[in-house]
Structure 1
């Protein structure tokens, strides 16, 4: 019980320090990591080492992705390509349901692309659509984030669901996990979209989500751009810096499947290499450079790269501090304590859901929650009547629903969404964190209903 009291006190401190006391999230998260280490009884030297390791690990995994994605976003904005993409999507899907449009894009993109990377890649497009449709950036940010989050936790080839399926003996039956996962992910994406729609009329300018320049251009961003720069780029050139990384990541993920469906040897190695997020985004950056004016391309690239690095720096620091906080919590006895308590309850599919949710909430990573919970519950499946391919597949999905519940200050995705959308932390807890709670509960209810029919 003391473990949970400490965790709740830490979360309350983060919310108060960042929202009411207006302290920078980077300092608050580092302070929280130190406090957590001492409160849970970790040795001082181990706490400091864990903070450094956690900070470096998360930046090592997504730091370059954030930087490259931010630079691409700057080029897309400055070249007018983001406006072209927004205009094209609106023409195809209409203007009646902006949150649905954004959620659907996120749902599809995150099947092959890690949700952090997907949000970075699509951030410029999301902002352009919000301005074009005169809809709150908060609503569009939550719709995109929840759409990405849905398939991220349920549908291979995302690493978490694949690892969970492997731990539960479903490596050769990923098709079943994918088929069922797409259904559950769709339900959770719809739940997130409906929650995001609550913020459609929010005043972004007063909340600080739009700069003065953004607000001035709200009336007609297309006319303002044409007046200054001339014609917008075509749809093919505009979408290429986004679609190319997504295509490469997708091919790399499929090539890495068990059984090598796209071949083995040099072909497989090449596709896996090109499909790594850093290489894929680097390729996207090369293509984005083609959007710059031929006459002053080198100077424009230099300016946009500098602007992108400047914009990425605070995001990187805050994301790294969130990783440090999560690493300290992972090193404490909190996760094992909650896992043991919940696994002894004997409540069928709800047991892996609760274990996964406890791990997700305490240490922040959905992937860690999926991998750890699946390894923990694998020996128990026969005892709770889930020792079949269908039972194991539903267990993977129950763990995935738990791995959504909830995204808050120790989750790097929370900070990616918050910082890229300029969302205040207090607002992010009301909008993004509650959305993930609703998604996780919805996902578990859908899995439970499936079990009544399929088991």
Structure 2
């Protein structure tokens, strides 16, 4: 097979093929990623009878550890959305902090809701609310857009149980509970800095950016659960996963108590418990049957499964052909730490492919074995990969157009709020990760 600098050329050709196929020919990303894997295998000289198996093993390996979690997370998010629990959380937070700090409440509401609800759906759900808030508070609309969008994307890229972070934690061989704990430490200040603070900065410089006095349609939310119930259902799986990992560190031996917490703290069981509780607790707030809600969720999950698995297939070809090792070698020769490499490679793929999930899956597939062999904390490298998937969203990203079209703002304002705000949040996350690495010898799970 091909070795040396030609591997880098082939990698660039493969990425260029993906970009051309998706942007110019409007091909489906699932098909494109599989084709790019085949193309890469041919160009590198991989035996043709091994290409199909490499694609399949990458696809299956990626979904085997995260497929159940992705499915349950989508179902949980659909239940919360249909019960108007997401609206209730946002309204409650805004009422608690008052109009003056309402962008901060929206930032945090977006951060919370994006844990089970996917970015596109969550932004569409909240857009009428931020439009009404801008009208009422006279705070520039771009402040709310930035606060909401960045809060949503930070969680989507960094916090379990969204597909990208789940795939990263699995590919890196990291403990899911500890990965979740440190992802919260990294992501919360990143969302606030890139979303709320930067959004406030943009608002102060904006001109005529307040929503005019007009009727803004909002959903009927007369029948919705209480804020306490909504937040409890949303956070239950996260609490169970964290509890399982904490008890694993606190309790010693193999007693029944540790076994119990290990069971309920398993990512699959925790999400299953969360879905069952949501079905029972929120059923009366949903106008249609739970079966119909689940069918809707499963319908939207199909393409997510395919794209996530195809990202793993492409990443497995990159790894199996030696391209991944060569990329690591290049950056190692310039003395780039593996944590920074994870961020940079993920950021490159994010900006070029336009998909956070694909960038995270592909990068973690390449770097997972490397981190283990070099003795670097898989949690810190994994979080750096996730941070790289936050920013540099360009017009080849569907999220870019969701923000632009649903918020009805110009491309220039989308670049200012969504692209720049997300990039600031991603770099902030990297800085926090590097600070954590300085104390990795004393922090639990990072040694």
Match of 1:208 in 2: none
Match of residue 225, structure 1, among 220, 227, 232: 220
Match of 1:331 in 2: 320
Match of 2:282 in 1: 291
Q: 1:315 and 1:162 mapped to 2: Cα distance?
A: 21
Match of 1:403 in 2: 385
Alignment of 1:372-391 (within 5 A): 372-378=369-375
Structure 1 residues 232 and 19: alpha-carbon distance in aligned structure 2, compared to 1, 3 A threshold: same
Structure 1 residues 94 and 12: alpha-carbon distance in aligned structure 2, compared to 1, 3 A threshold: farther
TM-score by length of 1: 0.65
Alignment of 1:4-403 (within 5 A): 4-94=8-98, 100-101=104-105, 104=108, 118=115, 120=117, 127-134=124-131, 140-147=148-155, 149=157, 159=169, 188-190=190-192, 192-193=194-195, 197=199, 219-221=216-218, 224-226=219-221, 230-257=222-249, 260=251, 264-289=254-279, 290-293=281-284, 300-345=289-334, 347=335, 350-357=336-343, 360=346, 364-365=360-361, 367=364, 371-378=368-375, 399=381, 402-403=384-385
Deviation at 1:55, TM superposition (A): 1.4
Q: 1:421 and 1:288 mapped to 2: Cα distance?
A: 31
**Structure 1: gaps spanning 5 or more residues:** 110-116, 166-173, 202-217, 379-391, 409-413
- Name the SS of the counterpart of 1:339 in structure 2: helix
Deviation at 1:324, TM superposition (A): 1.4
Q: 1:254 and 1:4 mapped to 2: Cα distance?
A: 42
Deviation at 1:51, TM superposition (A): 1.1
CA RMSD of aligned residues (A): 4.8
Deviation at 1:344, TM superposition (A): 3.3
Deviation at 1:2, TM superposition (A): 2.5
Q: 1:160 and 1:64 mapped to 2: Cα distance?
A: 13
Structure 1 residues 57 and 79: alpha-carbon distance in aligned structure 2, compared to 1, 3 A threshold: same
2:69 and 2:267 in contact (8 A); partners too:
yes
Per-residue Cα deviation, 1:174-198 (whole angstroms, up to 9, x for no partner): 9xxx89x987656644564379849
Deviation at 1:372, TM superposition (A): 3.9
Q: 2:322 and 2:69 mapped to 1: Cα distance?
A: 32
Structure 1 residues 405 and 277: alpha-carbon distance in aligned structure 2, compared to 1, 3 A threshold: closer
- Name the SS of the counterpart of 1:231 in structure 2: coil
Q: 2:438 and 2:297 mapped to 1: Cα distance?
A: 50
Deviation at 1:127, TM superposition (A): 4.7
1:14 and 1:28 in contact (8 A); partners too:
yes
- Name the SS of the counterpart of 1:219 in structure 2: coil
Per-residue Cα deviation, 1:101-124 (whole angstroms, up to 9, x for no partner): 465568789xxxxxxx93547886
Q: 1:321 and 1:196 mapped to 2: Cα distance?
A: 35
- Name the SS of the counterpart of 1:67 in structure 2: helix
Deviation at 1:443, TM superposition (A): 5.2
- Name the SS of the counterpart of 2:282 in structure 1: coil
Per-residue Cα deviation, 1:216-254 (whole angstroms, up to 9, x for no partner): xx9242xx424xxx4322223322321211111111222
2:93 and 2:106 in contact (8 A); partners too:
no
Structure 1 residues 247 and 306: alpha-carbon distance in aligned structure 2, compared to 1, 3 A threshold: same
- Aligned pair count? 378
Deviation at 1:343, TM superposition (A): 2.5
**Structure 2: gaps spanning 5 or more residues:** 132-140, 204-214, 350-358, 405-410, 441-447
Deviation at 1:130, TM superposition (A): 3.6
Structure 1 residues 443 and 376: alpha-carbon distance in aligned structure 2, compared to 1, 3 A threshold: farther
1:59 and 1:320 in contact (8 A); partners too:
yes
Q: 1:77 and 1:396 mapped to 2: Cα distance?
A: 31
Per-residue Cα deviation, 1:395-427 (whole angstroms, up to 9, x for no partner): 985x4675347439xxxxx9xx96899689xx9
Q: 2:273 and 2:437 mapped to 1: Cα distance?
A: 43
Moved more, 280-289 or 430-439: 430-439
TM-score by length of 2: 0.66
Q: 1:46 and 1:97 mapped to 2: Cα distance?
A: 57
- Name the SS of the counterpart of 2:115 in structure 1: helix
Moved more, 39-48 or 357-366: 357-366
Match of 1:385 in 2: none
Q: 2:257 and 2:439 mapped to 1: Cα distance?
A: 42
